[in-house]
Amino acid sequence: MKRTLLFVCAAGALFAQPSPVIQTETREVLVDAIVTAKNGAYVGDLTAKDFHIAQDGKEQAIKGFAVESGPSAEQTRSMVLFFDQTSMEARDEVVALRAAGPFIDAEAGPNHRMAIITFNGSMRIAQNFTDNPGRLKDALSQANLHGLAPSAADSDRSHDPSRKEEDLVVGRANASAMATSLTARDMVHALAELARSLGVLPGRKIVIVFAGALPSGNDPKAEVHDAIEAANKSSVAFYPIDVRPVFTQTDPGAVQQTPESRPIRMGGPFGQGPGAQGDPGMANSPIPDSGASGQQILANLSGGTGGFPVRNTSDLLAGLQNVGKEQDQYYVLTYVAPDSKEGTCHSLKVKVDRKQTTVRARTTYCAEKPLDLLAGTASARGLEKRAAETQAGGIGASMEVPYFYVAPNVARVDVAMEIPADVVKFENRTGKPHAEVNFLGIATGADGQARGRFSDVLKLDFDSAAQVENLKGKFLHYEKEFKIAAGEYSLTVTFGQDEASFGKVQSPLVVDSWAGDFGLSALALSRETHPAADLGLVPALEGRTPLVAQGAQIVPSGAAGFARAEPVFVYFEIYGQQANAARVRLRLLDSKTGQEKWDGGSLSVPGQGEGGNPKIPAGAKLPVESLAPGAYRLEVTATDTTGKLVKRTADFELR
């Protein structure tokens, strides 16, 4: 039988050792750090023992360590060229475009994807992520900078079908949510939305911000804080490029040397030499130029996210080349944050035990907001009462609960449900149908104690009653995730709109132990996939982690029954040092007799990254069209180079 298995890899640092205390909500924090010597050269021979991380001044134990080094590394690099049209004059745009063209030629290529975004009061994606330099430069020439109308290429970017564009793209910001006035506040807000959208991509992401004299009619401190927080959560670093001529940037008598007379220095404020990450000199010192207050905003953005500004140079290309080097020269450190109130932010400081070196890294960590949205409300109390009762709910639903490790012995459980749409009651709100369904999930251990919990509100809005009518006979798909320690549990999810009508679904939840070595997640079956380009902004995912493999989002099914005529996919993740060289075998068995119905053979998984504990997501389409109706079991076996074997299974039915 022809094999249809496809794999995709994405590295993610995991803990090397189990944390001493396993909690329901672990706070795993990843910190990207770039280390340079006194002469600006990158330092690439450090180990975990050389680093120190402090949160709020208190040193934290480093649990994970990885090195991303060299242009040949297999981790996909993602870079965005962001052109702020509101701050650039026509002459500035010409200079920026001239520098961007050769920079694209040098940087775009295998594992180095770039995207181009313009901002003129709202964001517009001139070019999605691609590794094709020609397509990127076409977008530059058609970007219509300086406030012109959208180009024809914006509505039809398939003008050259021979050029392949990758599916993985940045989400589009909601332009209607942005103010129309062209101020620094709007631009920073756009950068925050961009940072959130990039969170679905693996690894460290770079956003190069081409800007001139930023307007500063109002104080955007709140927006800057939000942008830094969003960037740090998504592993995004901002690198502002001041495209104005040197004589307009600096007061007379304070002109710095240009790249023609000395090398451009990376790190410190505006080419003045390396500055320590978190150093007040990076973000808070006065900047004497004609747009000082506006440029201070960019200094804060770069200093708070581990980037650096390029300024006071007549050679923008050289400055861009220095930024490009940062794609392949960084460390990934992981620690477990101490308990803190959800939503609070904390300072971070990274140091190394080597003299005459400079470290640049994110400067803040913000604790996640609570998953228990209904805590303390009458709705939560009502659902808690229903969950404790033996009475079954009157609304039928199905549920699947695959899990994926986020640290040794800690997993993220993806709750997927299918609920009959006919039972949802809609009301008229501002002339349109609206409905809200409350959810409460409680995972209890053998002792009856709650070990995991979430609550949520599913809001449904439609434009007309006809759209609601079209839902009849169909199912609503609902997803939520929560973290839990390894163990055996019973998961109960209750849901409803009022006291008279509710649903209750129960399922065993067994999360196998995993010590951080070679491992395999549970299996998520699916009937639905979408290009990763359709993910949109992360806020639209409501805090959920999308399952992305092979450039596609795989939507986990809330039911284990499939029609033979529809496609069936599987998603899983491989973990540990040996994941790079693992071999995987997929088989379909008759779940009653154990008889083999299909064998995909032993396949290798492409390696990913160097050092650390990688996480490799994989997706495959199952050949169910050749099977007769019945009950089946999917078996996935992963084997490392030492012969260690990990097996997972998932039962499903074909009708």
- Which residues make beta-bridge pairs with 459? 436
3-state secondary structure of 150: coil
What pLDDT score does 53 carry? 94
Residue 537 CB partners (closer than 8 Å, separation 6+): 171, 172, 173, 174, 193, 196, 197
What pLDDT score does 210 carry? 93
User: Is the distance from CB of 460 to CB of 426 less than 8 angstroms?
Assistant: yes
DSSP 202-216: -S-EEEEEEESS---
Tokens of 212: 């001139």
What pLDDT score does 179 carry? 34
For 359-390, the pLDDT digits (tens) are: 988 888 877 655 555 556 677 777 888 888 77
Helices (H), 306-392: 316-325, 378-388
What pLDDT score does 269 carry? 29
Tokens of 396: 């039928």
Q: Among the listed ranges 91-95, 293-297, 528-532, which one has the minimum average pLDDT value?
A: 293-297
What pLDDT score does 11 carry? 30
User: Is the distance from CB of 520 to CB of 535 less than 8 angstroms?
Assistant: no
Packed helices 292-305 and 221-233: angle between N→C axes, nearest 10 degrees: 20
CA–CA separation, 627 and 589 (whole Å): 10
- Which residues make beta-bridge pairs with 313? none
3-state secondary structure of 299: helix
Q: How confident is the model at residue 539 (pLDDT cuts 50, 70, 90)?
A: very low
CA angle 479, 480, 482 (to 5 degrees): 150
* Nearest alpha carbon to residue 619 among 4, 75, 168, 197: 4
User: Is the distance from CB of 555 to CB of 617 less than 8 angstroms?
Assistant: no
For 494-515, the pLDDT digits (tens) are: 998 877 778 899 999 999 988 8
What pLDDT score does 368 carry? 64
What pLDDT score does 86 carry? 84
Burial (0-12, 13-18, 19+ Cβ within 10 Å), 409: buried
CA–CA separation, 187 and 238 (whole Å): 13
Q: What is the mean pLDDT of the chain?
A: 75
Backbone angles phi, psi at 119, to 5 degrees: -130, 125
pTM above the 0.75 mark? no
For 613-627, the pLDDT digits (tens) are: 467 888 899 999 889
CA–CA separation, 189 and 288 (whole Å): 25
Helices (H), 448-560: 465-469
Q: What average pLDDT does range 193-212 have in this prediction? A: 82
pLDDT at 534 over 70: no
Which amino acid, residue 40?
A: G
Tokens of 187: 């631009």
Question: What is the DSSP secondary structure assignment for residue 310, as one 8-state letter?
Answer: B
Q: Among the listed ranges 152-161, 327-336, 577-586, which one has the minimum average pLDDT value?
A: 152-161
What pLDDT score does 376 carry? 60
What b/e readout covers 453-466, taking b as 16+ CB neighbours within 10 angstroms? Answer: bbbbebeeebeeee
What pLDDT score does 609 carry? 39
537 or 43, which is more confident? 43
Q: What average pLDDT does range 517-543 have in this prediction? A: 71
Q: How confident is the model at residue 66 (pLDDT cuts 50, 70, 90)?
A: confident
Please report, in angstroms and rounded to a whole number, the separation of the first and last CA atoms in the chain: 22
The answer to whether domain 1-16+516-655 has CATH 3.40.30.10 is no
The torsion of the CA quartet 573, 576, 581, 586, rounded to 10 degrees, works out to: -30
Residue 522 CB partners (closer than 8 Å, separation 6+): 402, 403, 404, 572, 648, 650
- The yes-or-no answer to whether 1-16+516-655 and 369-515 have a common fold is yes
* Nearest alpha carbon to residue 78 among 216, 246, 161, 195: 195
pLDDT at 76 over 80: no
Q: Among the listed ranges 19-28, 113-122, 463-472, 636-645, which one has the minimum average pLDDT value?
A: 19-28
Give the chain's count of helices (H) and strands (E): 11, 35
Q: What average pLDDT does range 36-64 have in this prediction? A: 89
Q: What average pLDDT does range 95-110 have in this prediction? A: 90
Would you kindly state where each structural domain of the chain is located, as residue ranges?
Answer: 1-16+516-655, 29-72+332-367, 77-327, 369-515
Q: How confident is the model at residue 655 (pLDDT cuts 50, 70, 90)?
A: very high
Long-range contacts, 89-96 (Cβ 8 Å, 24+): 89/146, 89/212, 89/244, 90/146, 91/245, 92/212, 92/243, 92/244, 93/145, 93/146, 93/243, 95/243, 95/316, 96/210, 96/241, 96/243, 96/316
Backbone angles phi, psi at 322, to 5 degrees: -65, -40
For 251-262, the pLDDT digits (tens) are: 333 333 322 323
pLDDT at 328 over 80: no
Homologous superfamily of 77-327:
von Willebrand factor, type A domain (3.40.50.410)
What pLDDT score does 215 carry? 61
3-state secondary structure of 625: helix
Homologous superfamily of 369-515:
C2 domain (2.60.40.150)
Residue 642 CB partners (closer than 8 Å, separation 6+): 578
Q: What average pLDDT does range 25-33 have in this prediction? A: 70
pLDDT at 521 over 50: yes
CA–CA separation, 257 and 247 (whole Å): 12
* Nearest alpha carbon to residue 484 among 437, 458, 457, 449: 449
pLDDT at 87 over 80: yes
Helices (H), 389-525: 465-469
Q: How confident is the model at residue 543 (pLDDT cuts 50, 70, 90)?
A: low
Range ranked top by mean pLDDT from 51-60, 132-141, 254-263, 380-389: 51-60
3-state secondary structure of 81: strand
Q: To the nearest whole percent, how much of the chain has pLDDT over 90?
A: 24
